[in-house]
Amino acid sequence: MAALNDEQVMLRDMAREWADNESPTTAFRKLRDAAPAKGFDPEAWSTVAQMGWSGVVIPEEFGGSAFGYLSLGLVVEQLGRNLAVSPLSSTAVAASAIAMGGSDAAKSEWLPKLAAGEAVATLAIDEGPIHGGKIEASAPGGKLSGTKKFVAEGDGADVFVVAATDGLYLVAKGEGVTVSTRKMADSRSHADVTFADAPAEKLGGPELTQAVVDRATAVLTSEMLGMADAAFDQTLDYLKQRVQFGQVLSTFQALQHRMAKMKTELELMRSTVEAALEAIDAGRSDVDQAVSLAKAVANDTLKLVSREMVQLHGGVGMTDEYDAGLYLKRAAVLETMWGTASYHRDRFARLNGY
């Protein structure tokens, strides 16, 4: 854990407590089975906003607390532990795009609403199933056209931050915006969103797109960290109680060494995730490198831990009744979102000149 101040410790502990008491994995199961149209529980979202989490990266003058990305990451990590469903990450990151590039009017219109949880926002960047592909959407004369694929929280979003060939645009849901749900393995909200001459306000050029995607990626690795930690803890608990051959499984050295290896990787993962968030807060010039490092390491580590979770649970790990499968399915989606490990390794290498 990074060196945290008192406010951050409080924030983390509150988020942990809320996730454990109000949003355990049973809450996710309930939501999955109920399948609400917006993809999240409005009551839970309203609580999240009341606690101030939706405003953590929004400037104070617009109703936020401007605590920064490490703070946001601490909250997202705790929610990730329990697979808590929330449009928090997507809203926070889209809000930061508005804060960085929006006009005074746009900021005044949207940021207070987003900080208060009265509106949901998201990024609409990719046009294919793999991050980093070609962007063809364009906005001649402030009318944006194009189709964005697999937009997270696309079902419930009130406003979209959309990537076009020449940068980022702000588009409110309504005229010229069509949302169609994609059902994914993780049972969360993903949608294809088509813009047809939708009224759009420009936020900034391609540099802004990259900066915002880097922020989204860093926040995503926090969720992955929470998931990997929780998946590991649950696997360890299971090994400590499951008896085979007259012995508790956790006493077998072959299993001990696999757990020790995972514990080691988790330590490295935490360092890279926190370093990426700290780099953003510090306004460092190598945020891009720090983010690609964190995402590549997070992908590899969450993949290892979530797959081992199923294997080490044995047959019950294959059942829907146990949580292992829920972590596995969400993990695979997050490993793909904002770039696979190979995408980020290549980017890291290019940034370093080899």
Partner 1 sequence: MATAAELDRPADTTDAFRQEAREWLEANFPQSLRGKDNAMSAVDGPTEETAEQKQWREAMGEKGWGLPTWPKEYGGGGLGRAEARVLGEEMMRIGAYNPIGGMGVMMFGPTLLEYGNEEQKQKHIPGIVRGEVRWCQGYSEPGAGSDLASLQMFAEDKGDHYLVNGQKTWTSGGQWADKCFALVRTDKSQKHAGISFLLIDMDAEGVETRPIRLISGSSPFCETFFTNVKVPKENLVGREGQGWEIGTRLLQHERNSLSGGGGSQGRMNQGEQIPFIAKKYRDVDGEGRLADSDLRTRIIKHEMDQRAFALTLRRAALEAKGNAGPSAATSVMKNVGARITQDRAELAIEIMGMQGLGWEGEGFSHDELAQTRTWLWGKAVSIYGGSSEIQNNVIAKRILGMLDHQ
Question: CB under 8 A: which stretch of 79-87, 218-226, 272-280, 326-334 binds partner 1?
Answer: 272-280
Closest contact distance (angstroms) between CB of 163 and partner 1 is 24
Nearest CA among 216, 113, 99, 102 for reference residue 170: 102
Check binding of 350 to partner 1 (CB under 8 A): yes
Near partner 1 by CB under 8 A: residue from 268, 311, 316, 319: 268
| End-to-end CA separation in angstroms for the chain | 32
Helices (H) and strands (E) in the chain, counts: 11, 9
Check binding of 248 to partner 1 (CB under 8 A): yes
Closest contact distance (angstroms) between CB of 12 and partner 1 is 12
C-alpha to C-alpha distances, 173 to 159, 194, 198, nearest whole angstrom: 5, 11, 9
Question: CB under 8 A: which stretch of 116-124, 132-140, 214-222, 269-277 binds partner 1?
Answer: 269-277
Check binding of 2 to partner 1 (CB under 8 A): yes
* Coil/strand/helix, residue 197: strand
Give the nearer residue to partner 1 in terms of CB position, either 106 or 236.
236
Check binding of 30 to partner 1 (CB under 8 A): no
Largest CA distance in the chain: 73
Check binding of 229 to partner 1 (CB under 8 A): no
Give the whole-angstrom CA distance, residue 157 versus residue 181.
Answer: 12
Check binding of 66 to partner 1 (CB under 8 A): no
Near partner 1 by CB under 8 A: residue from 51, 179, 236, 318: 236
Question: CB under 8 A: which stretch of 30-38, 176-184, 261-269, 309-317 binds partner 1?
Answer: 261-269
Check binding of 234 to partner 1 (CB under 8 A): no
Give the whole-angstrom CA distance, residue 148 versus residue 126.
Answer: 6
Report the side by side order of strands in the sheet with 143-152.
143-152, 190-199, 177-182
Check binding of 253 to partner 1 (CB under 8 A): yes
Which residues have C-beta within 8 Å of that of residue 323, sequence separation ≥ 6? Answer: 25, 83, 234
Taken in order 328, 298, 24, 230, the sign of the CA dihedral is positive
| Contact of 87 with 49, CB cutoff 8 Å | no
Question: CB under 8 A: which stretch of 32-40, 125-133, 233-241, 315-323 binds partner 1?
Answer: 233-241
Give the nearer residue to partner 1 in terms of CB position, either 103 or 352.
352
Tokens of 223: 């969720």
Check binding of 267 to partner 1 (CB under 8 A): yes
Tokens of 233: 């803890």
Binding site for partner 1 (CB under 8 A): 1-5, 8, 70, 236, 239-240, 247-248, 250-251, 253, 255-257, 259-261, 263-264, 267-272, 274-275, 278, 281-282, 293, 296-297, 342, 345-346, 348-350, 352-354
